[in-house]
Amino acid sequence: MNILITGGSGFLGARLARTLLAAGQLSAAGAPPQPITRIVLADRAAPPDDLARDARVQFQGGDLNAQIAAGVLPAPGTDVVFHLAAAVSGECEADFDLGMRSNLAATQGLLEACRQLGTAPVFVFASSLAVFGKLPGHGMPALIEDYTLPTPQGSYGIQKFIGEQLVTDFARKGFVRGRSVRLMTVSVRPGRPNGAASSFLSGMVREPLAGVRAPVPVPAETVVALSSPARTVEGIVKAAEAPAEVWGPLTAVNLPAIRTTVGEMAAALERVAGPAATALLDWAPDAAIQRLVETWPGNVAAARANAMGLQADSDFEAIVRDYVRENPQAVKLPLR
């Protein structure tokens, strides 16, 4: 079993690679499980040391579009592609050309390269909750379901929705076995902030636990749909493994999410690390971020994912405690 992960050195890509390597095998679209012999991590940055040391891991560094154009990616014999690489929401709003190149051109180019392989690899596309949006002059649907019409309100969401449609058409034609999964906002991400408008939803937990002040640019009553890193990777792997009859229509699947508010997130942080943690939150409105976040839905159903055995996290406090358990070196405050 040969696997390609674009964005493979990033947080989700590296976690996915570790999960696959620990399992040692993968079932591609319901086929009998096969041992994993190679995972290619394609990224601009080198992978973490633990992955670089694994003999099954190969790093392919450089610009993704350039590598696709040169015929380097995907390599012949690739069985499964996890396409995670993307410019994030805030970056796409600030730099239109970056988003179009990184999110649209790269996705189309990678699909075309998979078509040229002639082997119909499984193609898992990491789409986003951002394909849904609040239309100006209209209320947000009370519940976002798998078949709710996407109405993205930002460049990132528009590019991801186009990517979903490309995956659907390439799969319909038999060029790939396409699976698009709509990722919820992932919290809590370790490491440094990124350019996503939703980055604060990790930072408002991660930074205070490290004894560092963190901005909260939206009101406490803002409703959000969240998923832990573990549940997110579980959903990505399930998308690759589900047989066609279980996956169902070629359209994208919503991954499960918990519905919470930013204020409730702060309360969960305080239950874990006390008032010393929430005292480090700076509730300072940012109109640009607020305008974008307010167009995202907070109440999301995931019936198709649930039917595959996927479930949301129990609550946000459990997510915070998982982060603490997995990243003890990043926690400086005393815990309750």
Q: What is the pLDDT of residue 173?
A: 98
**Do the domain assignments include residue 294?**
no
Per the structure, the complete domain to which residue 73 belongs is given by 2-184+227-254
Q: What is the pLDDT of residue 74?
A: 97
The share of the chain scoring above pLDDT 90, in percent, equals 88
**Do the domain assignments include residue 317?**
no
**Do the domain assignments include residue 153?**
yes
pLDDT, mean over the chain: 95
Give the residue carrying structure tokens 């095998």: 25
pLDDT digits (tens, 9 = 90+) for 120-161: 999 999 999 999 988 888 888 889 999 999 999 889 999 999
**Do the domain assignments include residue 316?**
no
Q: What is the pLDDT of residue 301?
A: 96
CATH of the domain at 48: 3.40.50.720
Domains held by the chain: number? 1
The number of angstroms, rounded, from the C-alpha of 277 to the middle of its chain's C-alpha atoms is: 27
Q: What is the pLDDT of residue 276?
A: 97
Task: Go through the chain and tell me how many residues it has.
Answer: 336
Residues noted as catalytic:
156
**Do the domain assignments include residue 313?**
no
Q: What is the pLDDT of residue 227?
A: 97
**Do the domain assignments include residue 275?**
no
Query: Quick one: CA torsion of 139, 141, 147, 149, rounded to 10 degrees?
Result: 0
Q: What is the pLDDT of residue 135?
A: 86
**Do the domain assignments include residue 335?**
no
Phi, psi of 52 (to 5 degrees): -60, -30
The share of the chain scoring above pLDDT 70, in percent, equals 100
pLDDT in single tens digits along all 336 residues of the chain: 999 999 999 999 999 999 999 999 999 999 999 999 999 999 999 999 999 999 999 999 999 999 999 999 999 999 999 999 999 888 998 999 999 999 999 999 999 999 999 999 999 999 999 999 888 888 888 899 999 999 998 899 999 999 999 999 999 999 999 999 999 999 999 988 877 778 999 999 999 999 999 999 999 999 999 999 999 999 999 999 999 999 999 999 999 999 999 999 999 999 999 999 999 999 999 998 888 888 888 899 999 999 999 999 999 999 999 999 999 999 999 998
Q: What is the pLDDT of residue 280?
A: 98
**Do the domain assignments include residue 239?**
yes
